[in-house]
Amino acid sequence: MARFGVFVFALFLLMLFPLRDVQAARFSGEYLLKVCMLDKNGGELIAGGKIACQAYISGVIDYYNMMKSFEDREKMKGFDFCLPDDVSLNEVHLRVLSYLIEHKKMHRQFVAAPAVMMALSAAYPCRR
């Protein structure tokens, strides 16, 4: 529930302080990479980028959890991930960012949500 509050707050902030060059109502892989990017000291490169990045990732996680609760596993086949209870959103951000950098050519033109799902699946596989 706390994550939902952060997501709503992030959306509110984005309405107050819109990011440059927002294209329609979608995040491409390329755009998500831009807003998630950090400098060598861990600071954001685009003002408001960290909160936009983490809000987007949180939204994908929340959607995944909602679909999982409906037991709609067939649609999520190959995208399963299991986040540890103690993982921070900052760590998840870094894992997704690393994946986006490594696979930027593959995801740059497409909606970013599948890239986030693939990054989480690679970084946090479910143990059976």
Give the tens place of pLDDT for each residue, 45-100: 999 999 999 999 999 999 888 888 776 566 666 778 999 999 999 999 999 999 99
Is residue 47 situated within a structural domain? Answer: yes
Between residues 39 and 7, which one has the greater pLDDT? 39
CA pair distance 69, 45, nearest whole angstrom: 36
CA pair distance 95, 122, nearest whole angstrom: 9
Q: Which among 74, 65, 72 has a CA at the least distance from the CA of 124?
A: 65
Is residue 46 situated within a structural domain? Answer: yes
Q: How many domains does the chain have?
A: 1
Is residue 92 situated within a structural domain? Answer: yes
Domain of residue 112, residue span:
2-16+26-123
Is residue 105 situated within a structural domain? Answer: yes
What is the average pLDDT score of the chain?
Answer: 81
Is residue 21 situated within a structural domain? Answer: no
Task: Take residue 13 and report the two structure tokens written for it.
Answer: 């902030």
The proportion of the chain whose per-residue pLDDT surpasses 90, expressed as a percent, equals 48
Amino acid identity at 16: L
The proportion of the chain whose per-residue pLDDT surpasses 70, expressed as a percent, equals 74
- Taking residue 38's Cβ as centre, other Cβ atoms within 10 Å add up to 15
CA dihedral sign, ordered 121, 58, 113, 70: positive
The pLDDT score that the predictor gives to residue 37 is 94
